[in-house]
Structure 1
Amino acid sequence: LIAVAVGLNISFIVVNFRLCLLLLAGVVGFAVLIGGLVLTTVFLIREIRKSEQHDAFIHAVTHELKTPLASIKLYLQTMRQREFPPEKRHELIDTMLEDSDRLQQTIDQILLVGKTGAARRVDNPTDVDVSDIVRECVALAGRRHHLVDGEVRRVDDAPHGAFVVKGDREELVAAVTNLVDNAIKYSGEGVRVGVEVARMGAKRVAISVRDQGIGITRQELKRVFRRFYRLPAALQSRVRGTGLGLSIVRAVARRHGGRAYAESSGAGKGSTFTIELPLKSS
């Protein structure tokens, strides 16, 4: 009897152990299946978003290229068909020059994306005065956006040669110009933009561009430097853009051994974009 009882218990344990193994295998298999579905869904969502951003980029670039070309063509046809007094002709020529500058800026942005993405470091760096770059970019923004004095201003008065870095001057001008242009475009009707150059510790310099515009939420701060990404508020406000500007800023900063970052207290509270660069070794 004892032997029979022991045998029955062992048989019961073996059967239940097998059932437990089958149940465990089923649970693990189900978990793996669910995990696979989740990963596949996340991957598909990311690919869909990338595709949407790419399509939006193509549309924006097409618009940025076609609009000034159509404007220039229209003015040229009008000038060929009609005679205008000298003042009117100068006005039309100035408008065409502005459109050609806009067209050139878009092309330069696209070319710079390829350039900054192809190499990690700047080839043949030269001495670049950061304060001179900021002065140039502020003056250029004022002319391009027809601003009055004080709407974009430098909030420092660093002397010539105070902050010198090793790098590509053209790339650094493009990066700072992108930040200033963005600050102006997203400021709305009342433009108040401040550009500051300041020392960060003993070996770095920071270029900060502050605005009082649409602001950025905490979630969007993590995405603003991605290529093709545009803020939802920017899309709603119909501000023109290709989604390349800030990705160029980050790429240029990294190529110069620095970094780029954004700060904002939230939507409607303005934002600050900063480029930090290592100073030239003395």
Structure 2
Amino acid sequence: MSTNFKKAYKFAGYTSAAITVVLTLSLGVFFYTTNSLNIYILIGFAILCYLSSFFIIQYRVERFIYKRIKKIYDDVSLLEASSFSKNQITTDMATLTKEVERFAQDKKLEIEGLKIRENYRKEFIGNISHELKTPLFTVQGYILTLLDGAMKDKSVRKKYLVNANKGVERLIYIVKDLDMITKLEVGDLNIYKEEHNIIELVQNVFDLLEMKAAKKKIELAFDKPYPDSIMVMADRERIQQVLSNLIVNSIKYGREGGTTEVSIEDLIKNKVIVRISDNGEGIAKENIPRIFERFFRVDKSGSRREGGSGLGLAIVKHIIEAHAEKIYVESQLGIGSEFSFTLEKAK
């Protein structure tokens, strides 16, 4: 602190000393040649001269630098002069340079952050446009065909209306998922924790997805028998949604004739970890950090054939984080994937 104090006032101190020496010597020589001058008066004059010079110079230099630097900040459109205060001004140029460099570095980081968010925004808009336009064009195509005369044929009319309805249902599905993830991201979705048996919940999901898995001859199973209940404290409906999304994904990308396996283990005293593993396609290492992003698809063509909103894993992540828990993923391309998440055990 003493070093910074010396640097801040060094210019004014040296300049004031020089002025004081010159004026005191001049005064001393003048009075020495004309009349005798009391030494105490000379010393008093030197002290008064030094102090007055020091404060005047310090004040004027600070004002001068502040006005010039503020003008530079105002002239640079990417920087905001409002974040620049008089307290940052010093007559020590090294300190002043550091302040300006720190300011510029902060603004550079802000600009880089804005660029990242802008790229994400563009990608998100592109993805959502693609997701929405496919069912929209499908519905429009069927309706225009009906209006062009196909509606006169009852069998064609019914078929086209059924197909158009499927397109509308897909739009509703995407909009519902978007609404949910928006609520999750802004913390507007309430989580109602209750005590329930996670084994029973997994079995319910197995029963719901049994037919979907059977189409690809994929077996849904526990890693071992669980004769006893494992009670957890969580939102039953939301955790069922998490399990459904993860198991549906394992079926989508699973190998025909493969297996989706669920295991529940004690992690620490008050936590359990639920693992959903498969022997399917797996995920490339470079894609793993992005799989929880909205609309990000590992296999764009394959996943669109399978359907889905592209929001499943993003919703899963937000639901788990809303429970103040963690989700993990391990995967190896061509071997399989394992998604796991923690839950609080019921007391």
Counterpart in 2 of 1:138?
206
Cα distance in 2 between the residues matched to 1:53 and 1:248 = 18
Superposed CA offset, 1:183-227 (max 9, x none) = 22233x63634231312234323222223213141x54333324x
Query: Counterpart of 1:207?
Result: 274
- CA-to-aligned-CA distance 1:61-99 (integer Å, 9 cap, x gap): 41475378569979x998983359xxxx9x999989977
Aligned amino acid, residue 182 of structure 1: N
Q: State the partner residue of 2:75.
A: none
Q: Deviations over 1:218-272 (max 9, x none)?
A: x54333324x1514x323645455442122112222233422111124x444221
1:175 paired to 2:242: yes
- What amino acid is the match of 2:178? I
- Give distance in 2, aligned partners of 1:177 and 1:145: 12
Q: 1:111 to 1:224 in 2, by over 3 A?
A: same
Which residue, 82, 103, 123 being the options, matches 1:53? 123
Aligned length: 251
Within the alignment, does 1:222 sit opposite 2:294 as a pair? Answer: no
SS, match of residue 209 in structure 2: helix
Which one has more relative contact order, counting CA pairs under 8 Å at least 6 apart? 1
**Alignment correspondent of 1:278:** 344
The verdict on how the C-alpha distance between 1:108 and 1:30 changes in structure 2, with shifts beyond 3 A counting, is closer
**Counterpart mapping for 1:1-282 below 5 A:** 35=105, 38-39=108-109, 42-63=112-133, 65-66=135-136, 81-83=153-155, 105-117=173-185, 118-119=187-188, 122-123=191-192, 125-144=193-212, 147-159=215-227, 162-187=229-254, 190=256, 192-201=258-267, 202-211=269-278, 212-217=280-285, 219-226=286-293, 228=294, 230-231=296-297, 233-235=298-300, 237=302, 239=304, 240-265=307-332, 267-281=333-347
2:139–2:164 CA contact under 8 A, matched in 1: no
Map Cα deviations across residues 143-192 of structure 1 (whole Å, 9 max, x no partner): 34652544443333324x612223322211111111112222233x6363
AA partner of residue 246 (structure 1)? L
Identity %: 17
Structure 1 runs not aligned, ≥5 long: 1-20
Q: Which whole-Å CA distance do the structure 2 matches of 1:144 and 1:33 have between them?
A: 57
Amino acid at match of 1:53: E
Q: TM-score, normalised by structure 2?
A: 0.56
Rounded to whole Å, the distance in 1 between the matches of 2:241 and 2:249 is 12
CA shift in 2, pair 1:80/1:46, >3 Å: same
Please give the secondary structure, in 1, of the residue aligned with 2:329: strand
Unaligned 5+ runs, structure 2: 1-91
Q: Secondary structure at the match of 1:222?
A: helix
- Letter in structure 2 aligned against 1:276: T
Which amino acid letter does the alignment assign opposite residue 51 of structure 1? Answer: R
